[in-house]
A and B are shown apart, each in its own frame.
Chain A
Amino acid sequence: MNDCLALKVTDLDNVATIFANGVKDGAQVDVHDKKGNSEIIKVIGDVPYGHKIAVKPIRKGELIIKYGEEIGAATRDIEKGEYVHVHNLEALRGRGDL
């Protein structure tokens, strides 16, 4: 399936958000940006509607960027196309231990 749509907000972002229902492991998604560029990326993991994938490899500890701003850090190495959520991203704000 080549019609799955994902949106990357800024050039700095290393994640994109998938707006399609039922995207399964191995699916090809078409990642668009606001300038009209697009890239086909193969998804690793099942990704629910509105959830994110990495658009480039992200190392453990590296910042995860969306809207051109940091939204957390990777808790392990993340491959390009891999599902990114609370299992491999941790917030850096609003916590008592930092």
Chain B
Amino acid sequence: MSYTFQGYRRANGKFGSRNLVAVIPSVICANDVGQAICRQVQGTIGYFHHQGCCQLPIDLKRVTDTLSNLGQSPNVGAALVVSLGCEGTDANRLVDEISAAGKPVEIIRIQELGGTARAIQAGIDAAQRLVQQISGLQRETVDVSEVVMAIKCGASDTTSGMASNCVIGYVADKLVDLGATVVFGETTEFLGGEHILARRAVGGENGPVGQKIYEIVKRMEDRAKAIGEDMRGGQPTPGNIAGGLSSIEEKSLGAIVKSGTRPIQGVLEYTDRIDGQKGLWIKDAPGREPEILTGMAATGAQFMMFSTGRGAPQGFPSMPVIKICGNPNTYERMQHDMDLNAGRIITGEATIEQVGEEAFQEMLKVLSGKMTKNEALGYFGSMDIFCLGPVI
């Protein structure tokens, strides 16, 4: 059986599920100007983060890389870079790289233009031009093998590992078998389950991918230990504990279920992109929503499938997020935020395969333009960039 969706073809051979003009502040100090532009101009979204200056060089490069990857992501049709003029990131590189991906790009510089009001005026004019330039693009039929799905779980409880993550695992396996790409992350939530993942690595537990999986988990665990702190109290979260998860190990073992059962092809660093690689991949990123949603969108995912038990409502500016709720009580209370009810698996009303097929069909609709509940509600501001060092 072949499956297709209706997507936007990009000049670099990728396919988007949305066709947006991205307003990209190169530094936090440009956010207010960017927000004013987005409020005024239809068809824009903003990448409003909190980085970009007074950071270590490795982080300044990381912020520039991430913003560049976001600008190049398939759901973005054109970009407006909003620079202050004295930031630590490389605003010119953003313009060059996004432009090289075949997208129209403009830049405004707040200091050069003579301040906030003039920059907003210039930015509105530029964003309006870009929206008019790209908004006539038509969707076309795209094979499902072009799908890049990001997966995540958040606000988990014990239903997550037994219902909603199982549904995502079903979709992940199906997509991999159809030749598509699936990316999962949340390295913190491998702790206690990393041996299971390492054994699924291409080349086995002792091969380079298997060993890399152990390495990124150790790196994450050591980072907490390095500041003399115990991860307990932070992970699992108070909400996880109230939901019945007793330890990070229990949380992890439930979390990794969402990756399905297929071989793991490799580990992507936070700023690595998917450029045609197929199969199941790991992105080394923490589990907190703003940082991993940003990392996944920058990887090139056209959408995210997001499992929850306690009810996580958030989304991302340019990446639709399909919420799969494992807890039937939560679904009842929060159904205006939850796209699918996997709680029916817990109550015995449906099987994992049945809800998995529903999720797969919903995915095709969302890729073709149907808004997810978080998109329709405008709840999509969860964005920030995962940095390594201190603010200096």
Asked if B329 and A94 sit within 8 Å, CB to CB, the answer is no
A69 CA / B348 CA spacing, docked (Å): 25
* Complex Cα gap A78–B246 (Å): 15
Q: Which residues of A contact B391 (CB under 8 A)?
A: none
B305 within 8 A of A: no
**B contacts, CB < 8 Å to A:** 157-159, 161-162, 188, 191-193, 196, 221, 224-225, 228-232, 235, 241-244, 246-250, 253-254, 309, 327, 329, 346-348
Does A71 touch B at the CB level, under 8 Å? yes
* Complex Cα–Cα for A51 and B241 (A): 9
Tell me the complex Cα distance, A71–B188, Å. Answer: 15
Residues of B near A92 (CB, < 8 A) are 192, 247, 249
Min C-beta distance of A60 to chain B, whole Å? 16
Cα of A21 to Cα of B228 in the assembled complex, Å? 39
CA distance A96 to B222 in the complex (A): 9
Please indicate the chain B residues that have their CB under 8 angstroms from the CB of A51 in the complex: 158, 244
- Indicate if the CB atoms of A94 and B230 lie closer than 8 Å: yes
Could you tell me if B329 and A52 are in contact, using CB atoms closer than 8 angstroms? no
**Which residue of A is nearest B231, CB measured?**
A94
A91 interface residue (CB < 8 Å to B): yes
Interface membership of A86, Cβ < 8 A: yes
A49 to B326, CA, bound (A): 13
Residues on A with C-beta less than 8 A from B159 are 19, 50
A49–B231 Cα distance when bound, in Å, is 25
Interface assignment of A45: CB less than 8 Å from any CB of chain B: no
A67 touching B232 by the CB < 8 A rule? Answer: no
Pick from B157, B231, B248: contact of A50, CB below 8 A: B157
CB-CB < 8 A to B221: which residues of A? 93-94
Closest 9 pairs (CB-CB, A-B):
A94-B231, A91-B247, A50-B244, A71-B250, A51-B244, A50-B158, A72-B247, A71-B249, A67-B253
A43-71 vs B, CB cutoff 8 Å, 1 = contact: the mask equals 00000111110000000000010110111
A69 and B192 contacting across the interface, CB-CB below 8 Å: yes
Interface residues of A (CB under 8 A from B): 5, 7, 9, 17, 19, 21, 48-52, 64, 66-67, 69-72, 84-86, 89-97
In the complex the two chains form, is A66's CB within 8 Å of B232's CB? no
Chain A CB within 10 Å, residue with most, of B225, B244, B329, B346: B244
A97 touches B230 (CB 8 A): yes
- B158 engages A17 (CB within 8 Å): yes
The CA-CA distance from A48 to B309 in the complex, in Å, is 14
* Among A50, A89, A90: residue with most chain B CB under 10 A: A50
A50 to B162: give the CA distance in the assembly, Å: 10
Q: How far is the CB of A31 from chain B (nearest CB, A)?
A: 14
Which residue from chain B places its CB closest to the CB of A9 in the assembled complex?
Answer: B162
> Given A95-B232, A96-B230: A17 and B249 within 8 A (CB)?
no
Task: Beyond A19-B346, A52-B246, list 18 extra A-B contacts (CB 8 Å).
Answer: A17-B162, A48-B242, A49-B244, A50-B243, A52-B158, A52-B244, A70-B249, A71-B249, A85-B241, A89-B246, A91-B232, A91-B246, A91-B247, A91-B249, A92-B247, A94-B191, A95-B232, A96-B230
Tell me the complex Cα distance, A56–B83, Å. 63
Residue of B nearest to A70 (CB): B249
**CA–CA, A90 to B241, complex, Å?**
12
Decide yes or no: A49 and B191 within 8 Å by CB, A69-B196, A71-B250 being known contacts. no
Q: Determine whether the beta carbon of B192 is less than 8 Å from that of A70.
A: yes
**Residues in B whose Cβ lies below 8 Å from that of A86:** 241, 246-247
Contact B246 A21 (CB under 8 A): no
**Which residues of B sit under 8 angstroms from A97, Cβ to Cβ?**
230
